[in-house]
A and B are shown apart, each in its own frame.
Chain A
Amino acid sequence: MAAPIVKQEPSEDVDIEAKIIELCGQNPKGISDDVIKQAIPQSDIQQRVIAVNRLLSTNRLELLKSGTKILYRLKDPDSANQVKGADTEEKVVFQIIKDSQNKGIWTRDIRIKSNLKNIQVLNKILKNLESKKLIKAVKSVNASKKKVYMLYNLEPDQSVTGGPWYSASEFESEFVEILNAQAHKFLQQRALDANKVYPEEPWTRLQASYATADDVLKYITNLGISKVNLTVKDMEAILDTLIFDGKAELSARTTGTASQTTGDSSVKIYRAVRPLTDTSGFVRTPCGVCPVITRCTLDGLISPKTCIYLKDWLEF
């Protein structure tokens, strides 16, 4: 009699294990013992304990505490393999970092969550994990001194990197300026072409000189200036800077059909413009750009009679 029982047991255990994993797969938040019990009514408590323990020791399940109940949850097989050979503290820290996803997490928050009071220990753990290339430190744009940790294979979120305008948490002002200049060039060319095609029809010419952000983006992409993939939204930000430079003008055009993504029936269009007036006469004199004009008086130390700026200006 004993032989068949012995033969049967392992297969039953495997069944129970498989069942538990299946259940956990259905409930990613975790399952309690009661759930297992209902799902596998024929198993007794002993069998379940053995099955769960084996799963825990092979790192396929993890134990969670929810109130007074104990929950079992499926453990990511990858991560299970990755932290292999690490101690529990490392595993905990790794888990916390993993939960933060591509937003990253700050050392202080790790300390609070992991309950590791000793900073040195935590630093050592982080260093360890970093050297194993499991996690990486990324500098946040919001606070240059703040380092956030995230899994090694993740692409940092825009809120951390600051979008395409940042590289290594430094603002790429040159990149922005180049895009700004190219966008301006594109719009100017549009206006010129429109001038040639419709010299006699001012309104048509005006309409033809407008371009959408999409058009500008296509032009920029074809130029191949940008190594990063820019979105239409990024392009709009660049075009906004052109507007603030006073080099472009914004208008809207109805597309007729509402676009599916935004639900807007109008599209932003841009056009190159020239400033409304010439340079003011004020700044054509040295006084207009004089840094000390507030202290300039007739008989003071700074005076038009002795002013060196005026002297240089008049002698050319």
Chain B
Amino acid sequence: MSRVNTELCYQIVKEYYGEIVANVASFLIRSKSSSLGVIVQRTCYDSKQVKQALLTLIKQNIVTFSQTKSGSIEYTAKPEAILWILRFPNYIHCAKTLFGDAAELLVEELLLQGQTDLGSAVVKTTNKLNESLRSSGSNLPEISQSLIRDKAVLLVKARLIRRCEDVILGKSGQFGVAVSEVTEPEQLFLLPTAIDFETSPGLKRPASDNMESKAKRIKLEAGEANEQEENKVHKSQGPGYWRVNVYQFHHHFRDQVIIAAVAKNIDQRASEVMRTMLRLSETRSNPLSLESEPLSFTEISNAMPKDKILQKNMLDQYLKCLSDNCYNFVTKVGESGGGLYQINIFKAIKAICVSHIETIVLERFGSKALRMFRVLLTDKQVEQKQVEERAMLPPKEAKELLYKMFAENFITLTELSKTPDHAPTRTFYFFNVSLIQVSRMILERCYQAISNMMVRRQKCLSENKRLLDKQDRVEAIIASLDAEGAIEQKEEVEQMVTPSEKAQLKKISDAAKTLELSEIQLDQTIFILETYLSYTLHPPEVKK
């Protein structure tokens, strides 16, 4: 974990859950894992505050816990889960585009709660939807809970939400000591049963909501063991807890990025072909593998959406374009079934990532530097003179830009000495680009940039706190006057905000919007870089 990354995690947690939680989280990130006692000692909060902070973090899936050999409970933070908070708007938007408004609200609720039972999520969603129906004044009938339940089942089928892992109980069977390892990933996606939608606490088991938080609390107080609860019963009989499966969302984002790239490289219809292929392979291939399973021509042709159906020879031409061109996103692997095609997910992601890095080089150093950067990417090991010649740039300018990129770690230098003394005159100096290093460096910078944006936004808001508060008050008054129907007074109140103040308020809201937008855009860059790095650095993992 780098300093920048820890700082960003701190900023995010602070923004959403407050300073105490943020301090506990950043302590856990720095220390990898520690017990309650150590956290209390180091963070200088009293144990009650720390416990509450941990409770929040566990509920938000940021912290997990496990039992060490000596029997004490250790808490471990997952910093990546904190960074996912930045992606919440994307998750929600994605759910909306895929499954509509109800799914959007369901996912929103699950993200908000971190872990929750489906029953209460469904109830809340239904209420919210009906409320908005009422306020919009439409005459549509109320939405029933069963409709939302179906949506929830749909989300589980799409693997966008999943069950939480069970909590392993200690020897006494009274309190959880660790989160169980998932041995069978399919179990997490078992479709919800009637029990899962149970909300009324009185029926199956008393106080299920309350109970869960208590159960968590017990885990925190493992050493004290002064509460008597039957966790086992809770887990096996009560409604299970559910959370959003971010990995599936990430696969979806990855596919979207690939589709967008195809649309840019060829055209809209080619991107539809790609979309169909990705959709077909989604259910069949391991989402983390480098290539998809082979898909036959007939299959693709049949699976094309009805309104975008293509002529056979046209589809054939598109597939030819995709496989012979377009950075080899697709490979033809066989002739059976009218031609077997495979998607090279890794190649596609790499090409997209490189393209992203290139845009960064372009903006930072200009188009001439980009030309040299691409010379290095194509020719791998190049001497300074060769770079100038290949890029056809005047030596003086080329030298300046090349060394600027070198100084900022975008390119690296390899020394190859003819003699053991490494005398400069008898040494070859090769410039090269290490994609992994550059990606990591840019990733770090992105983390820092997001953190900067957040700090700036908070500063912007706190500096103008008085003005913003005033605006809130005025708006509240206006709202209440509106309800009473006092129009004359309303105008008077409205004039309490002077034009200059109004201008200032507009400026603040514009600035805050710009900053928030850049946070989301930065996260997209982070997503692509992280995806590329995860493909290059880890061999495909077990499906989650």
A112 to chain B minimum Cβ distance, whole angstroms, is 22
A270 to chain B minimum Cβ distance, whole angstroms, is 13
Majority secondary structure of chain B interface residues (helix, strand, loop or mixed): helix
Q: A246-B358, A289-B364 are in contact. Are A202 and B264 (CB under 8 A)?
A: no
| Contact segment of B95-103, B117-125, B333-341, B449-457 | B449-457
Of the candidates A203, A276, A305, the one having the most CB atoms from chain B within 10 angstroms of its own CB is A276
Question: Is A228 on the interface with B (CB-CB < 8 A)?
Answer: no
Report chain B residues within 8 Å CB of A305: 455-456, 459
Report chain B residues within 8 Å CB of A87: none
Besides A274-B265, A285-B518, 9 more A-B contacts (Cβ < 8 Å) are A171-B394, A202-B270, A241-B392, A243-B374, A246-B358, A246-B374, A249-B325, A276-B265, A307-B456
B394 touches A277 (CB 8 A): no
A244 touches B378 (CB 8 A): yes
Question: Is B367 on the interface with A (CB-CB < 8 A)?
Answer: yes
Report chain A residues within 8 Å CB of B357: 280
Instruction: Select from chain A the residue with minimum beta-carbon distance to B397.
Output: A173
**A interface residues, Cβ below 8 angstroms from B:** 165, 171, 173, 176, 180, 200-204, 206, 237-238, 240-241, 243-246, 249, 251, 273-285, 287-289, 293, 296, 298, 304-305, 307, 310, 313-315
Q: Which of B449, B515, B520 contacts A282 (CB 8 A)?
A: B449
A308 to chain B minimum Cβ distance, whole angstroms, is 12
A294 to chain B minimum Cβ distance, whole angstroms, is 8
Report chain B residues within 8 Å CB of A245: 367, 370-371, 374
Q: Which of B317, B442, B452 contacts A304 (CB 8 A)?
A: B452
CA of A244 to CA of B325 in the docked complex: distance in angstroms? 17
B321 touches A176 (CB 8 A): no
Majority secondary structure of chain A interface residues (helix, strand, loop or mixed): helix
B314 touches A201 (CB 8 A): yes
A114 to chain B minimum Cβ distance, whole angstroms, is 29
A275 to chain B minimum Cβ distance, whole angstroms, is 6
Interface residues of B in 246-269 (CB under 8 A from A): 260-261, 264-267, 269
Report chain B residues within 8 Å CB of A251: 325
Task: Type the 1/0 row for B513-541, where 1 means its CB is closer than 8 Å to any CB of A.
Answer: 01100101111110000000000000000
Question: Is B393 on the interface with A (CB-CB < 8 A)?
Answer: yes
A282 touches B378 (CB 8 A): no
9 closest cross-chain pairs (CB), A and B? A281-B521, A287-B449, A203-B317, A304-B452, A283-B363, A276-B355, A171-B394, A314-B511, A244-B374
Q: A206-B321, A276-B355, A279-B363 are in contact. Are A287 and B264 (CB under 8 A)?
A: no
CA of A46 to CA of B318 in the docked complex: distance in angstroms? 91
Question: Is B204 on the interface with A (CB-CB < 8 A)?
Answer: no
Give 18 A-B contacts (CB < 8 Å), ordered by A residue: A173-B394, A202-B266, A237-B392, A244-B374, A245-B367, A246-B374, A275-B264, A276-B264, A280-B357, A280-B525, A281-B522, A281-B524, A282-B445, A285-B518, A287-B448, A288-B360, A304-B455, A307-B456
B514 touches A314 (CB 8 A): yes
CA of A227 to CA of B141 in the docked complex: distance in angstroms? 79
CA of A298 to CA of B264 in the docked complex: distance in angstroms? 39
Of the candidates A241, A285, A305, the one having the most CB atoms from chain B within 10 angstroms of its own CB is A285
Question: Is B93 on the interface with A (CB-CB < 8 A)?
Answer: no
Report chain B residues within 8 Å CB of A281: 518, 520-525
B446 touches A202 (CB 8 A): no
Of the candidates B261, B267, B356, B391, the one having the most CB atoms from chain A within 10 angstroms of its own CB is B356
Q: Which of B390, B460, B518, B521 contacts A240 (CB 8 A)?
A: B390
Question: Is B544 on the interface with A (CB-CB < 8 A)?
Answer: no
Report chain A residues within 8 Å CB of B521: 281, 284-285
Question: Is B327 on the interface with A (CB-CB < 8 A)?
Answer: yes
CA of A230 to CA of B392 in the docked complex: distance in angstroms? 15
Q: Which of B367, B375, B455, B510 contacts A298 (CB 8 A)?
A: B455
Report chain A residues within 8 Å CB of B514: 313-314
CA of A280 to CA of B390 in the docked complex: distance in angstroms? 26
Instruction: Select from chain A the residue with minimum beta-carbon distance to B367.
Output: A245
Report chain B residues within 8 Å CB of A310: 452, 456
Question: Is B19 on the interface with A (CB-CB < 8 A)?
Answer: no
Of the candidates B314, B317, B520, the one having the most CB atoms from chain A within 10 angstroms of its own CB is B317
Question: Is B54 on the interface with A (CB-CB < 8 A)?
Answer: no
Question: Is B507 on the interface with A (CB-CB < 8 A)?
Answer: yes
B359 touches A244 (CB 8 A): no
B391 touches A282 (CB 8 A): no
Question: Is B83 on the interface with A (CB-CB < 8 A)?
Answer: no
A279 touches B359 (CB 8 A): yes
Question: Is B351 on the interface with A (CB-CB < 8 A)?
Answer: yes
Report chain A residues within 8 Å CB of B523: 281
Report chain A residues within 8 Å CB of B267: 202
Report chain A residues within 8 Å CB of B316: 203
Instruction: Select from chain A the residue with minimum beta-carbon distance to B459.
Output: A305
CA of A50 to CA of B362 in the docked complex: distance in angstroms? 78
Instruction: Select from chain A the residue with minimum beta-carbon distance to B357.
Output: A280
A305 to chain B minimum Cβ distance, whole angstroms, is 5
Question: Is B472 on the interface with A (CB-CB < 8 A)?
Answer: no
B358 touches A287 (CB 8 A): no
Q: A171-B395, A206-B321, A314-B514 are in contact. Are A276 and B352 (CB under 8 A)?
A: yes
A142 to chain B minimum Cβ distance, whole angstroms, is 10
Question: Is B150 on the interface with A (CB-CB < 8 A)?
Answer: no
A239 to chain B minimum Cβ distance, whole angstroms, is 11
Report chain A residues within 8 Å CB of B395: 171
Q: Which of A206, A241, A285 contacts B522 (CB 8 A)?
A: A285
Q: A206-B321, A245-B370 are in contact. Are A288 and B391 (CB under 8 A)?
A: no
Q: A241-B392, A314-B514 are in contact. Are A288 and B378 (CB under 8 A)?
A: no
Report chain B residues within 8 Å CB of A296: 448, 452
B452 touches A307 (CB 8 A): yes
B297 to chain A minimum Cβ distance, whole angstroms, is 14
Instruction: Select from chain A the residue with minimum beta-carbon distance to B387.
Output: A244
CA of A113 to CA of B158 in the docked complex: distance in angstroms? 84
Report chain A residues within 8 Å CB of B453: 285, 287, 304
A241 touches B371 (CB 8 A): yes
